[in-house]
Chains A and B, each alone.
Chain A
């Protein structure tokens, strides 16, 4: 019998062969390794949300190992003396236990909370990027919708999450949530009774929120995130316009190794920042709030920042109650139910509304600079200023207290600001966009200002302009077409001056970087500009 020789070098080859025999993966794998990604810093904002979500899953699993989602009243006997002997729910006691008696528990709790804030913040910034660059246009409308659903789910994940410790602050939040449900016409009392299992607060809500927070919502989030990324992968990422870039191609670098490595490094950096915040910045010190008591609340009871816009809208709403025969519609119904609904459904429909207005049915893979669609920027800034006024109003009592402003004046400022600022923001941002466009066109037509002043024989002073393109027989620049992309506006952008020395400790020894892409032309030759040229 011949003994088989084991060739270790051949092992991976055999493994790969075997895998391909069974799953036919060679061709798709090559496609994956070769896939080209366009690169721009603003494309990484969504990644921060993804990475925060991973941190949330990891830290959240740890927290579940210690948290007891029960509202059974017990007397606290842990190591925090300030509350010893106090009657509190088992949920609050286990949150305190997690903070004081579990090694690294406070660190994990703060990491979970900071990651949640970062998750929501990066979703907002990512959405702003997508909106202002027109990345939501056909064929990406569905992904825009998924993105908004992700924000909405994140909102509810956050709310259910900060309700769980059952401290004074979270109980107040629950109380307001119940009041919001009560404002619904006809079904209000029934809805609140169904969710709380009877009268507020009941004994079930923490357990119900717990299963929603650790299973239902993250499950849906996970599915939607997978769909979100899958669609990006299938449709290929959008790219900025620029040299060589068309609506039919993707210009960038292959996913492996460089792009994937940058993603991995970025993940570690995001994770590092969250860890730093978790260790250094205190967040939600529940032991200072005490257990929830229906009779107690402190001033400065603020929700997390992504809920503050809603709280602000509720504060600003005038007390206009509608009576219909023997029934009443409380004023809170408008900001909390109709307002929240509109704030989500209008953006959901926006891609189709814009396409309908512009009669635009084409596929768009090239982004638009904000200035090239002033109308959209105006609408976006209108929404953003509305959101900001509402968010700031959500903490108007703290602002009034710290800056010694009358609280009522803050409320009135918010009410007026909510109506005045959005149209103002619309007007200003549209004008800014048009101005920026105008300046781009001006430089394309006349060239870059050199800063060199020339006196003509007739005594007139003129500034010399460096044309960006060819000149006609009189020396006047031939106007260049507006391409919707960066126009160099300073002489050192067109190679007049050597770039500043780069590098922290050592000057980098390579020559000046090639502008945008090599197609523009290799390293530029420099010569001194003399006045009077």
Chain B
């Protein structure tokens, strides 16, 4: 049906929709007229009914739907029968997820293209024009609504009754706060409370160990002797207290480094001439220990470059020079890594002589 229907001009008279001579399309057009829509063209994409081209398009769409059906059915079958439980090594279950993706993905794609082809190739092409009617309300309407709103305010009479005004401000304000208070209040935690305020102390504080100096331990809790770390080597150590290696003490991981003799001499020279004196006497022999928690954003600055004695934080690439009090030499960090004062107890294990003297972790407003 190659037909171009030119709907009448905007001013065409309404038709009687009960007229039995009207076709369904005539009634549709009457509806469009009432919605201020004009159909400019409405034409079939094919020459004549049941043309070869139309049949071919219908066949293709049917084929796409059939492919979709087969693939989604395959999805269900594979979902049920294919071995899916994870096993070590190269097994058939490795293919479970890819098979689900392929069958469902192509199944849905075929369905999508089928629907799209139906809409784009089979349905008649049309061009319609609808009027927007985006005009704002008339001045008169605005005036009436505005006056109505003001009248509502007048009725309340808050303007004339100053006592009520004060009562709203003073009497009702607490109600709003009362709703918010439990929600916000319950969340508030004082970050500076206690004898061992969390922002300034770590697991190496003797206060966490009944006043005893805290040992340096491995992740499994075993203490460390100086000879356990080879020259030029390094080891991540944790406070030797219960759960010391867990995330409960997330600010405590420390890097213990056994420096080569010449590097150690330079490190000691710089530590002893430390401006604020905090690092003086913190080394033990050729050993030095720095907090692993980057002073920038708190990631572990864990990449140790032995040749240059630099520590690199992989998150934002701050670099710290070990031999110079772990001062930042590149990247966004401003502050050096705190040094842990080291010593060895009577049994020959490393202990922290005290907690870190610099504040560990990312910087904050009230850090002294």
Please give the residue numbers on chain A whose beta carbons come within 8 Å of chain B beta carbons, in ascending order: 30-31, 34-36, 73, 79-81, 87, 100-101, 103-104, 106-107, 110, 139, 171-172, 175-176, 178-180, 182-186, 188-190, 192-195, 197-201, 235-236, 244, 247-254, 257-259, 261-262, 264-280, 292-301, 311, 314-321, 326-332, 363, 365, 396-397, 407-408, 411, 506, 508-510, 517-519
Contacts and interface: CB of A to CB of B under 8 A. Distances in A.
B198 A297 contact: no
A294 B247 contact: yes
A172 B56 CA distance: 57
A100 to B, nearest CB: 4
A114 B321 CA distance: 40
B247 A279 contact: no
Contacts of A185: 365
A311 B115 CA distance: 42
B132 A179 contact: no
B41 to A, nearest CB: 5
Contacts, number: 318
Contacts of A257: 119, 123
B131 interface: yes
B97 A101 contact: no
Nearest to B71: A272
A292 B34 CA distance: 65
Contact of A251 (B84, B128, B189, B317): B128
Given A180-B297, A268-B108, A299-B314, A80 B129 contact: no
B26 interface: no
Contacts of A183: 362-365
B105 to A, nearest CB: 3
A510 B120 CA distance: 15
Nearest to A260: B119
B364 A188 contact: yes
B2 to A, nearest CB: 11
Contacts of B47: 509-510
Contact of A199 (B123, B250, B318, B334): B250
B328 A251 contact: no
B134 A235 contact: yes
**Closest 3 interchain pairs by CB?**
A279-B101, A276-B105, A268-B112
B66 interface: no
9 contacts: A31-B35, A34-B35, A175-B299, A188-B364, A189-B192, A194-B189, A272-B110, A278-B101, A278-B105
B203 to A, nearest CB: 11
A319 B32 contact: no
A331 B334 contact: yes
A254 B126 CA distance: 8
Contacts of A258: 119, 123, 126
Contact of A268 (B99, B115, B191, B364): B115
Contacts of B328: 319
A279 B332 contact: no
B113 A269 contact: yes
Contacts of B273: none
Nearest to B34: A30
A501 to B, nearest CB: 14
B107 interface: yes
Contact of B123 (A261, A269, A271): A261
B233 to A, nearest CB: 17
B102 A276 contact: yes
Contacts of A34: 31-32, 35, 37, 130
Given A104-B79, A251-B129, A518-B41, A330 B364 contact: yes
Interface in B66-110: 79, 84-88, 96-102, 104-110
B153 interface: no
B109 A268 contact: yes
B296 A179 contact: yes
Contacts of A271: 108, 112
A253 B365 contact: no
B56 A506 contact: yes
B286 interface: no
Given A265-B119, A518-B41, A280 B102 contact: yes
A277 B108 CA distance: 13
B223 to A, nearest CB: 17
B3 to A, nearest CB: 14
Contacts of B257: none
Contact of A275 (B53, B105, B115, B303): B105
B118 A261 contact: yes
A332 B126 contact: no
> Residue among B236, B251, B362 with the most chain A CB within 10 A?
B362
B148 interface: no
B253 A176 contact: no
Contact of B365 (A172, A189, A194, A198): A189
Given A250-B131, A314-B332, 15 more contacts: A104-B79, A183-B364, A184-B365, A199-B199, A235-B134, A264-B115, A272-B105, A272-B106, A275-B100, A294-B250, A295-B302, A319-B333, A327-B365, A509-B53, A518-B127
